[in-house]
């Protein structure tokens, strides 16, 4: 059984339909990437899974449970973390204070909280070095690491990641993508929305292509990118 299963999902903004019967699944311990041009509905898809938007039709099933009507905090406690495109870190809080916010959604002993923080610091050593600095003093890449780390301390089984490479230097992008593969290798599933098709497909187990609120193609990365029509649509 898939860890996440989305079945015939429909979503509207006000009266404007955005998603039209989207269906796909993500298995435990895999990276599934969603590609598409701006306005295809990719971010709407992630926000709906996380409970920021309510579906107008269809089902979202996580770990065998329907979650399409749950609030974001309950979805987080079920085991889904979300790294939005704008990161949403708190600029006046320190790195460790930002990370600690992710610990409050579920009860954990102090020892377990420390283990979760150390897990993030081991994944991103620069955050350990800057743990007493405020979020506003961090570079864009460090802020992205912090946003990922804040989701990780909640011990998610699935991470929703929206455009993690946007605006970052190539070396930082490499570090971010390496962290995603390490999370997958640790058993965390990742649903990744990304414009950098080549970099994302290189670490993905499966890919989906969206256009105008619909999935128009899906399969293994090597199969997706061999279609010239798809390559042109994605500007690969």
Instruction: Work out the pLDDT band at 231, boundaries 50, 70, 90.
Output: low
**CB neighbours of 52 closer than 8 A, spacing ≥ 6?**
72
For residue 63, give the CATH number of its domain.
Answer: 3.40.50.300
For residue 192, the enclosing domain spans: 4-234
Distance CA 226, CA 152 (A): 34
**CB neighbours of 89 closer than 8 A, spacing ≥ 6?**
98, 135, 138, 143, 146, 147, 150
Instruction: Classify 80 as helix, strand or coil.
Output: strand
The alpha helices in 58-169, defined as continuous H runs, are: 72-78, 95-101, 110-123, 125-129, 140-152
Inform me whether the pLDDT recorded for 41 exceeds 90.
Answer: yes
- pLDDT value at position 167? 86
Q: What value, to the nearest 5°, has the Cα angle with vertex 179 and ends 131 and 177?
A: 120
- pLDDT value at position 46? 98
**CB neighbours of 210 closer than 8 A, spacing ≥ 6?**
22, 34, 35, 36, 40, 41, 42, 45, 216
- pLDDT value at position 204? 95
- pLDDT value at position 198? 87
Domain count for the chain, please give it: 1
User: Which of 139, 131, 136 has its CA nearest to residue 172?
Assistant: 139
* Mean pLDDT over each residue of the chain, to the nearest integer: 90
Q: What is the dihedral of CA 131, 137, 140, 142, to 10 degrees?
A: -10
Structure confidence by residue, pLDDT tens digits, 91-127: 999 999 999 888 876 666 788 888 889 989 999 999 9
Instruction: Work out the pLDDT band at 61, boundaries 50, 70, 90.
Output: very high
Instruction: Work out the pLDDT band at 82, boundaries 50, 70, 90.
Output: very high
User: Which of 137, 100, 144 has its CA nearest to residue 118?
Assistant: 100
The answer to whether the CB of 55 falls within 8 A of the CB of 48 is yes
% of the chain at pLDDT higher than 70: 93
Structure confidence by residue, pLDDT tens digits, 4-25: 999 999 999 888 899 999 999 9
């Amino acid at each position: 059984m898939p860890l996440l299963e989305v079945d015939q999902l429909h979503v509207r903004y006000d009266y404007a339909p955005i998603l039209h019967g989207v269906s796909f699944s993500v298995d435990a311990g895999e990276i599934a990437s969603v590609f598409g041009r701006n306005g295809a509905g990719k971010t709407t898809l992630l926000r709906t899974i996380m409970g920021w938007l309510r579906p107008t039709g269809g089902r979202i099933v996580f770990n065998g449970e329907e979650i399409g009507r749950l609030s974001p905090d309950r979805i987080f406690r079920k085991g889904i973390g979300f790294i939005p495109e704008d990161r949403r870190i708190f600029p006046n809080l320190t790195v460790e204070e930002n990370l600690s916010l992710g610990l409050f959604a579920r009860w954990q002993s102090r020892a377990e909280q420390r283990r979760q923080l150390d897990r993030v610091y081991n994944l991103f050593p620069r955050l350990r070095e800057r743990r007493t600095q405020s979020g506003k003093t961090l570079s864009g890449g460090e802020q992205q690491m912090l946003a990922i780390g804040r989701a990780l301390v909640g011990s998610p089984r699935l991470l929703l990641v929206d455009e993690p490479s946007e605006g970052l230097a190539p070396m930082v992008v490499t570090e971010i993508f390496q962290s995603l593969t390490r999370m997958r290798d640790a058993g965390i599933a990742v649903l990744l929305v990304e414009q950098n098709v080549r970099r994302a497909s290189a670490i993905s187990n499966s890919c989906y292509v969206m256009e105008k609120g619909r999935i128009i193609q899906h399969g293994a990365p090597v199969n997706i990118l061999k279609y010239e029509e798809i390559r042109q649509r994605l500007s690969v």
